[in-house]
Amino acid sequence: MLETIHPPHWPKPVGYANAIAATGKQIYIGGQIGWNAECRFETDDLVEQIKQTLTNIVTVLAAAGGEPAHIASMTWYLTDLGAYAAHLRPIGQVYREVIGRHFPAMAVVGVTTLVEPRAQVEIQVIAVLPDA
């Protein structure tokens, strides 16, 4: 079970939660990037790489018996924060398309490079599945 924590006197965050309380089976998903199931990039477009990365996360989570609503925390690593900021609207669209209207605790971190040179984004996830 996930519960959003929000200080009552703070403005409501848009697209993320300040904190999530969770009970259940924890799933730690290692950093996923924007390549397909055959470990090949189909695009160098940031928004499309984010969409593929989120799709990969949902696929791994499903293999553990989970779904996007079980995501408690996401950490996004991006090689170009300027490109991220410039594409927030289409990124939000693909996020809602793949994850839905579930907004876990999130952090976005700028990095100079990722292990796969063509990757522009890597996302690490912690999910909590409800107890049986």
- Flag whether 12 is in a domain: no
CA torsion sign, 85 to 108 to 55 to 116? positive
| pLDDT value of position 19 | 87
- Flag whether 104 is in a domain: yes
The model's confidence at residue 23, banded by pLDDT at 50, 70 and 90, is confident
Which tokens hold the place of 34? 């924007």
Dist. CA 103–CA 72, nearest whole Å: 8
54-81 confidence digits (pLDDT tens):
999 999 999 999 999 999 999 999 999 9
- Flag whether 58 is in a domain: yes
pLDDT greater than 80 at residue 132: no
Could you give the 3-state DSSP secondary structure of residue 63?
Answer: helix
Mean pLDDT over each residue of the chain, to the nearest integer: 94
pLDDT greater than 90 at residue 12: no
CATH number at residue 31: 3.30.1330.40
Dist. CA 63–CA 103, nearest whole Å: 21
